[in-house]
Every structure is written in structure tokens, then in C-alpha cells.
Chain A
Amino acid sequence: MSLDEIKIGGMGASRRRVEDNRFIRGKGNYVDDVVLPGMLHMEILRSPVAHARIRSIDVSKAWEIPGVRLVLTGDMMATRNLAWMPTLSYDTQAVLATDKVRFQGQEVAAVIADDPYIAKDACEAIVVDYETLPVIVNPDQAMASGAALIRDDKENQPDNKVFDWEVGDRSATDKAFEEADVVSEIDLHYPRSHPSPLEPCGSIADFDRSTGKLTVYMTTQAPHIIRAAVALVAELPEHMIRIISPDLGGGFGNKVPVYPGYVISILASILTERPVKWIEDKTGNLISTGFGRDVYLKGQMAVRKDGKILGVRMHTISDHGAFFSDAQPSKFKIGLMHSAFACYDIPAAHLTAEGYYTNKAPGGVAYRCSFRVTEAMFFQERMIQAAADDLGMDQAEFRRVNLVRDDDFPHRTPFGFLTDSGQYGKCLDVALEAIGYEQFLKDQEEARKNGRYLGIGISTMTEPLGAGNSREYDILGIKMFDSAELRVHMTGKAILRTGAKTQGQGHETTWAQIVAHELGIPADDVVVEEGDTDTAPFGMGTYASRSTPVAGAAVAMVARKIRAKSRKIAAHLLEVSEEDIEWELGRFYVRSSPDRGVTIQECAMAAYSNMPDGMEPGLENTAYYDPPNLTWPFAAYVATVEVDPETGVWDVLRMVAVDDCGVRINPMIVEGQIMGGLTEAYAMASMQFITFDAEGNCVGSNYMDYLLPTAWETPGFELHEVVTPCPHHPIGAKGIGECATVGGPAAFVNAVMNAVEHLGVRNIDMPLLPDRVHEAIATRSDISGAPPVRTDAP
């Protein structure tokens, strides 16, 4: 009798989470919860100015404070070759400033003391003499002739440009534009934003001189990458480095890069011969760590009068702050920006990209998205809306004309990706049906007569998840496969370890469900571990969505290897040949007499006590999975809003999300991911931003200024699903963690723009704060750029 898959917590079960048991009791084990004997505490002194030469640093008063054990400056780091470190994008980044500071908040000195209060006292006692230099706060300033040179530390860096990049077919695209009936244009700024997980970054470095082993507890989404980076930077042997990423209070991409604080804490431990704990405060996190977005997106769409899109041009200008430390595949300088328009059948496209240094925090990171995909999809859907408007065509109809049809797969996207499956039209239909599209348009017209501004916004997209195949994807040369190791004990219980790293996605719960699905071992019988490089197989970690596509696949593959060996054991136990064995969930049986069978647990016991001749005992294996392709989840998001023209305040009336992430391992967790992503989308559309004044002072370096929506502002969400299994993924799953963050913002922005389009307003750049919306309405003009930090101008 086959087991009931849902009952054993297999795939499709909304299994309640294993990790909750400790979190609801306050027994999580986050980095700041870890206490090691003799531990010291580290605080970092940060630069108050954005661009300045350091004339001198006087640390004498800091040393005098009782309880101070060590004070580190850039010069001291330099004697050990640690003042600079390589970034994940083949650039270098200052660990502690030596010659100059290049952004407000840059690390200048560090104090290690008996407690963090004393360390802070000592930081305050350090005197730094800065000679300020001209400040560059945006790419326009960076590219201007005669602009101050930010990276004068680099050879062969004559200006502030980081890269030029290009993809697509320029001549085919030019031709498409010549043939167009309508050319639409749009010019957007995706403001600098920050993943800002609730838990800031930190590390506890513990170098044991007697064994030569370095153990570092660290808030990292990618412990194995960190181990490799530390081996490189600190020149310690890889096998003597152990990175432990315990519970993480969120990540969203922010906890991928190597931060100076980690490196300094490691050196501090080596020098003091004590464990050294560094926990940054929220300001440190917001002002200096991996931000997201900050891209100018300009483009045009060539359209035929019947609504067919002939071609699209994109030009992006990205702001990388003071150091190019993007965590992204080395081949793609602007990440996967060229995944834009993947869901539409567009014959020609061309993209050019430039990147610049500025006096701002370095980066960025893929903030809850595959590298740059949020920007790509935002641009895509804003461009689509603009083109539909210019053409005078209904938003939904325009999309229907151009969405790739269900039977058009495999499909080559405008910039050359290969998508394998999709039901984009159905997704849109479900969304429009749920929101009551036709009725809403009628209501909108009626409301407008009464001076009320209602709006509806659509966002449809497919995006690449699960980077990525080794032919195309690597970070610093390391290929982006992932791994799973499964060991089944003699009583049929198991331990699973993967190279991914959960930060709230529930891997301890969901990976066990895949094992249950493949082997019929109840999920409750499988314990899942991640994050310790001494025990976990090598993986590139979890950024925003690659886990299910890559590590999840590895889990399925390793479980299948276990099943294959178990089949041989079953044949031995049942005294038949392997060809006579059939499998049903949890059990092998003899095809010709199905009553004769053995459970998977019996096979496990036999692996230790009754092996077939010549078979290696034990029941365990490892799988490394190199994904054959990216997976392509898709979605349709529709938002309705009402805008108060008197104040510019807008409220979300409804938000409908239709997601296809293939086979859903745990529907409850999938929905949780979507709602979290939609909230990020709402936050970015409505209030979240980081900006700078002319002196490079950061606005948005604490939660007073960096606005996250509370339960009060955040709207409710209505979720629907379409299921198109991924054809190449072992369990047909795609990723889901980031989709709503990627596709959501455009739905909200399109809705507000739709509410005010009758006034001739075409674009308001995010965040759509009330004053910006109001200004657009009052002046009937577009609002571009991030909120300015004006002073005293009326």
C-alpha cells in the first residue's frame, strides 16, 4: 500500500515549519546570540564625509580607555596586506581606509574592547583629520569631464567609469525602429534601495593559534564563497577555515558580499588571540553594505499600429558607489538585465550599459532578485504601459497581442535567452478575472466624473531563476552548481545537508519534503542542516531564489541515488532480480506478486546488517547539480489604487497576484514568499529609498529615513496560481522567492500612473511618495529622479 504523500509531509503538503519550533520560543541561534569564552567586542569608526583625503588618524586617546584591547587602522592592516581586499566583481575594496575615504560611512578604524560600550567610547576618542574633496553623487557627475577621480588607487583607471557592456542586435533593432508606426520612449530611475533584513550583519572570528584553525560565525548567505574568499584574502589554508552561518534574520541578498567588518574581526582575533565579535548597527548596515538598484533606465519601443512590438532599445546607467562589489556572474556586467521582455515575442532588441563609480556605498547586490532582473522587469512593464498608452490600446489587449503563446516553446527571448515553458496568457486571464477588469474600467470612468482618481496597473513577466549553468555562469570563476548530501541511518531516519543557506525560506522544512517525495521517508524523519562549511557540501548559497532550482534539484537527485541503491538492496531482500522490482512511495515490491515488498526503512536497516554480496555498506550519497538551464517562473500582478488628488496620498484597493512557480513543494511557504515579495514591491513603489545631498550625506541610513512599511500601510494580497512544471527540473519546480519583488513594483506604479494619466502625467519615479504624486498632479508633469534633499528652496 502506497503511503499518502501529504500525510508524510511530501510535496504539495503545507507542512508546518520545523524551524518555527525554536523561533517561537526565542531559541533561535543568530550570530549575536553566540557567545564564546573570552570573547571581545568590536566597533567600527566610520567616515562622516563622502570624499576626503585622510591627513592623519590619532588613536592615542582610544588606547588609553580601560578595557580597550586593540585599535586597528588602515596602515596597520596594510602591513599585513589586508587594507584592501578583492570584491566578487574583480575590483578591490578598502577594508580600512588608508589614503582616502570614498563614501560617507566608509570604515576608517576599528576598536576591539571588553564590551561594545567601551569600544564605542574608544571610537569616539579617535581623531581623524580629513581634507575634503569634491563629491560625486550620481553618474552624471561621475561622467562629466574634469570630474574628480574617485578610484585613484587603481592602475589604468583614468576616470570614474566601471564598465561598458552591450548585448543584442543593433542593426536588426535599428531596422525595426525604421519600420515602426509608433515609437514610445521612457526614461526611468530605479532609486537606490537596500535589502535591509531586520538583522544587521556581523561576525565572530575565532582563530585558534594552537591548531591554526579559524572559525568564523558569520551572517552570510554563501558560507562556502566566504571560506574561499577568506582563504584568498587572509592567506590561510582553506581546510583550516570554518565558516558557520547559523540562523539568519533575513538576507535578501544583503548578506552575500564579504564586508570589511568580517575581515577586520578575523585579523583582530589573530592579533588578540581571543574570539572577536563584530555586530554592526542598523546605520552601519544601511550606509555601507550591499545596496540594491540605483540604475537609470532609458529606452524605446518600436510598435506597429496593430499593436505588434517590433523592437526595443535599452540603455542603462548604473551607480556602483565607490567600489564595484556586485555579487553577480562575472560574464554579465549588468547582471541579467537582458532578461527583459522575455515573456514577449519581440524580434529585435539591443541593450547598452554603462557603470560608474560614485561617492556612495559600494555594490550593489541582487536585492531579492536575480541580478538586475527587478530593474529589467520594472523597465519592461513601464515601457509596455507607455507604449500601450501611446498607441491608444488597452493595457491587457496590448499584452495579449505580444505575449509568447503557450505553444511557442522553446522560445528565444529578444536578448537571446532560451525559455522552455509558460502559460503567460492564462496567467494574465486569471489575474484580470480575479480583479474584475472590465467592471473596474467602468467604475474608474464613473469615479473620474466625480473627481475621484482610481487606477489599475498590470505587470506580467517571466524571469530567470536559478543561476546557473556552468557554461555561462560563474562568480570569480567558481561555477554556480549546488549540492546535497543525504545519509540514511539504520532505522530509516536521515540527515540531509545542502550547499544552500536558508534565511527564512524554510529549507529545513521543504528539503525534507523533497526527500519524502522521492523516498517515502516521512519528512519528520529527515533533519536538514545548512551553513557549516565543515559539514555542508560545497554550494554557492542562497541569494534570492536559486535554492529550489539548484539545491532543491540536488536534493531530488541525491534522494534518487539513494533509491537506486535501495532498489538493489530490495531485490536482494526479496530474492528477485532488480528488473522484477517496482517502486511505490516508501516501498519496493515484486511486480508479479505485489504483496511481497520491503519498505525503505527495511532497506536502510539492511544496508547496515544484510548487504548483498559485494555491495558497500551504508546508505548515503552526494549530488552536485549543474542546472542545465535557468528556470522561468512567470506571473501576472494587478493592483488597483485610489489617489487623493488633494494630497497625493494613494491607497491600494486590491492586489491580485497570479504566480506560476511550477510544482509547489509547500504551498503555505510559497504563498508566504509571494506575500513577502509583494510587500517589498509595495515598499519600493511607495516609500523606500536612499538618497544623497550634494555633499554626499546619506539620507536613508537609519529607519527614521529609510522607510519600511508597517502592518498598517501594507495592503492585503489575493493569491492565485497557475502550475506549469519546469521541464528540465527533477521535480518540476522553479523558484519563487523573488518573483513578486521583481514584478510587483510595476503593478503599483502602473496603477498610480493610470489614475493620473488623464492629466498628461507619464512617469513618476519611485518612490511614489505623496508629495511627488501631488506635484505631478498639480503641475501636470513628470517627476524624475530620487527625492531631492533640498534645503530652504521654496
Chain B
Amino acid sequence: MTSLFEEITETSVDIPVRRVTITVNGEKRSANVEPRLLLAHLLRQGFNLTGTHTGCDTTNCGACTVLVDGRPAKSCTMLAVQADGHDVMTVEGLASASELDPIQEGFKEEHGLQCGYCTPGMMLTAKALLEENPDPTEDEIRWALSGNLCRCTGYQNIVKSVLWAAEKMRNSAG
């Protein structure tokens, strides 16, 4: 991004925009947005974080799930302006510079993904679950993930992936 120039088009004049500042994956990011812009679109197009996906238009599929202040939220059902002043974690924020989150490792280890489209949302919902409940049962996992649809895996390996991650996290917590 550069402050050297910003093209002004006929569409950009006269349309009211609001400045929002969102802490995305630990980094403060600001933008001028139209109020009608969905958070998912600000993340994908505005901030180039394309790991958050959109898969439906009725708030059912959960592919767009991100963590807002640590809680899972469907970013297609939030306006970007609503995230102003809040913390948002996307899939890109899961791994640190040097290592993967145990949840990411679990999904790879237990074949919890096939096409990968639902995976970012699944992993973030799972992350929020494990933060609240470090030792969930299979039923608790299935219940917690019932807002995230998957067409490829049949969910069984997703459950195993989360169980794998939970065990790793419990073991490293000591």
C-alpha cells in the first residue's frame, strides 16, 4: 500500500465512507469503507486476506467464520463498520512465524480437509471451542461445529483432527 497516490473515480466521490480501525491478526489496520461493505469482503478484497471464504448467501455455511474478540462470527453477516475497534482473527493468524497452530497440524495429520474451502472457518471455530473446552467429547465437537458446513469430508476426520489438536495442546500445557 502506498500513500503516494489514490485514484479517484467517479464512483468514489460523494459516497459517504467511514474510517474503521480493526486489529486483524494482531496488527492494527485501517480503511475507509462504505457502511454496506461486509466484513468478509473487507478482509478478502481490502486487506488481501483471502483465506476467509464465502460459500452461501443465507448465513448457513460458515465458510466465512472468523474470530471477533475471540468468538466465532460469520464475517459475511457482519458489516465491516461493526468490527471497528475490535479484534479479528482470520486463518492467516493461526500460525506464528515459525510454527503451525496445533489445530492446523491436526487437520493435516488426520486428513480433516479435502478441497479446503470450509477449512479456515472450521479451524477457527474449533480453536474457539478448545479455548473454552480443552477436552471436548466427540458430541461436543460436532455440536460446536454444527454451524460450519462441509461437503467433502463427512466430518468424521474433522472431529478426529480437533481431538488430535486438543490432545497435543493438553500435553504441551503440561
Contacts and interface: CB of A to CB of B under 8 A. Distances in A.
B164 interface: no
Given A25-B91, A197-B115, A197-B151, A712 B142 contact: yes
A676 to B, nearest CB: 5
B74 to A, nearest CB: 12
B57 A702 contact: yes
Contacts, number: 182
Contact of B154 (A250, A283, A679): A679
A24 B107 contact: yes
Contact of B149 (A25, A27, A198, A283): A198
A675 B117 contact: no
Contact of A198 (B10, B37, B50, B118): B118
Contacts of A67: 9-11
Contacts of B145: 710-711
Interface of A: 16-17, 19-28, 30, 32-33, 35, 66-67, 114, 117-118, 196-200, 247-250, 252, 281-283, 503-506, 668-669, 671-672, 675-680, 702-704, 708, 710-712, 714, 716-717
Contact of A17 (B100, B108, B147, B150): B108
A711 B146 contact: yes
Contact of B11 (A118, A197, A250, A506): A118
8 contacts: A16-B109, A20-B108, A26-B94, A27-B51, A198-B53, A199-B55, A200-B55, A711-B146
A374 to B, nearest CB: 16
Query: DSSP majority for the B interface?
Result: loop
Q: Which 7 A-B pairs have the closest CB atoms?
A: A26-B51, A249-B117, A504-B115, A23-B116, A26-B91, A504-B114, A675-B154
A198 B117 contact: yes
Interface string B114-156: 1111111001000000000000000001110111111111111
A67 B45 CA distance: 17
B58 A249 contact: no
Contacts of A252: 151
B159 interface: yes
Contacts of B113: 17, 20, 23-24, 504
Nearest to B37: A117
Contact of A114 (B9, B100, B146, B155): B9
B118 to A, nearest CB: 6
B31 interface: no
B88 interface: no
B151 A196 contact: yes
A677 B151 CA distance: 9
Contacts of A247: 115-116
Interface in B66-85: none
Contacts of A20: 107-108, 113, 116
A250 B114 CA distance: 8
B163 interface: no
B98 to A, nearest CB: 13
B32 interface: no
B115 A703 contact: no
A717 B115 contact: no
Nearest to B63: A198
B119 to A, nearest CB: 5
A283 B56 CA distance: 8
Contacts of B159: 711
A676 B154 contact: yes
B161 to A, nearest CB: 10
A117 B36 contact: yes
Given A25-B91, A669-B111, A703-B149, A711 B142 contact: yes
Contact of B156 (A27, A197, A505, A717): A717
B115 A24 contact: no
Contacts of A248: 115
A250 B149 contact: no
Contacts of B158: 711
Contacts of B48: 35
A714 B114 contact: no
Nearest to B143: A712
A67 B143 CA distance: 44
A285 to B, nearest CB: 9
Given A248-B115, A680-B151, A711-B158, 20 more contacts: A16-B108, A24-B113, A25-B92, A28-B117, A32-B50, A32-B54, A33-B44, A33-B50, A117-B37, A198-B150, A199-B53, A199-B55, A200-B55, A247-B116, A504-B116, A669-B111, A672-B154, A679-B154, A704-B60, A717-B154
B157 interface: yes
Given A24-B100, A198-B150, A702 B157 contact: no
A717 B111 CA distance: 15
B155 to A, nearest CB: 4
A23 B119 contact: yes
A67 B12 CA distance: 9
